[in-house]
Amino acid sequence: MANDKPEPKRPLIRVSDFDFYYGEKQALFDINMDMKENEVTAFIGPSGCGKSTLLRCINRMNDLVEVARIGRGKIEVNGADIYDPRVDTIELRKRVGMVFQKSNPFPKSIYENVIYGLRIQGINKKPVLDEAVERCLKGAALWDEVKDRLDTSGLSLSGGQQQRLCIARALAVEPDILLMDEPCSALDPVATAKVEELIHSLKNDYTIVIVTHNMQQAARVSDKTAFFYLGKLIEMAKTDEIFMSPKNEQTEAYISGRFG
């Protein structure tokens, strides 16, 4: 993967000895991994392997699940433990944006969708908002398609456009990290290609973690790939290495399509 920035990059997200439970059921076992700045990391693995769970731990979305709790270990973002009781989850989620599997634009206009994150911070100056809308929609490669109908409902867009609107909405908050939970699973191939292109261009400014079921997608968009199985991190390496010469048997079996 061509990248202008010099190696080595410092880890922006560091997961160490991380155990996670849903009630009595342990969902993640002793996860250790680093995700570096301006890299795209893909989480792959069969359904129920914990990849989405880990992703949702990084911005503490799992707080919404009543029975969820961490057992051991920690996740650090930019050197700070995000499960420290002093952490303000609101600030955390501003720094760590998220795009969901099912595109979920608000039932508001495209314009209001993009600036939602700014409005709730009390930013109401029209020039600032206008600028943000144009910048974020351009950033999400959606501007040309919607610039003439910013006041129509976000729900009037096609599935792929909706997903890019959700990405634009996440960009408006100016996060450092973008978490994507199977962002293309509900999209057709053309829309998927657009979102993948977008991920490529976003890499220069953001650190991206993407969960995907689609191994070709992981191969296409990511710098590093992590393979999960049954709640354990089996193998994590440069994407080329994982797909060309996986060290672990299970990884190889999954990638070659023998299970999963």
Partner 1 sequence: MSATATLRKERPVEGLGFHKKPSKAKSTERAVFWLFRLGTYFILLCASVIFLTIIFKGSQTVFQSSFPFVNVEFLTEAPQTLHVFEYEGEKYELSDNNFRAFEAERGVEIKTDTYAYSGGGIWPCIVGTVLLVVGAMTIALTLGVLSAIFLSEYSKPGKILNAIRLSILNLAGVPSVVFGIFGLGFFVLAGPIFSFSPFEGYDFQFWPLPIYFGFAGWNVSLLAGCFTLAFMVLPIVISASEESLRAIPQGLREASLALGASKWTAIRTNVLPYAMPGILTSSIIGVARVAGETAPIMFTAAYAMRDQLPWEGLEKWSDFFFQGVMALPYHIYVVSAKIPQNEYTERMQYGTAFVFLVIVAGIALASILLRIRMRKKYRW
Q: How far is the CB of 78 from partner 1 (least distance, A)?
A: 16
Q: Is 127 left (phi over 0), alpha (psi -120 to 50) or beta?
A: alpha
Structure tokens at 74: 């920690």
For the chain, how many residues are written? 260
Structure tokens at 163: 């997903």
Q: How far is the CB of 201 from partner 1 (least distance, A)?
A: 21
Q: How far is the CB of 71 from partner 1 (least distance, A)?
A: 20
Residue with Cβ nearer partner 1 (60 or 220): 60
Residue with Cβ nearer partner 1 (166 or 237): 166
Whether residue 27 contacts residue 21, with contact meaning beta carbons closer than 8 Å, is answered with yes
Residue with Cβ nearer partner 1 (64 or 190): 64
Q: How far is the CB of 46 from partner 1 (least distance, A)?
A: 24
User: Which residues of this protein are in contact with partner 1, per CB under 8 A?
Assistant: 59, 61, 64, 66, 90-91, 93-94, 97-98, 100, 102, 104-107, 116-117, 119-121, 153, 155, 166, 169-170, 172-173
Please tell me what DSSP assigns to residue 10: P
Q: How far is the CB of 153 from partner 1 (least distance, A)?
A: 7
Residue with Cβ nearer partner 1 (206 or 254): 206
What angle separates helix 110-119 from helix 159-172, to the nearest 10 degrees?
Answer: 30
Residue 191: φ, ψ to 5°: -65, -40
Residue with Cβ nearer partner 1 (111 or 227): 111
Query: Based on the number of CB atoms within 10 Å of its own CB, is 124 exposed (0-12), middle (13-18) or buried (19 or more)?
Result: exposed
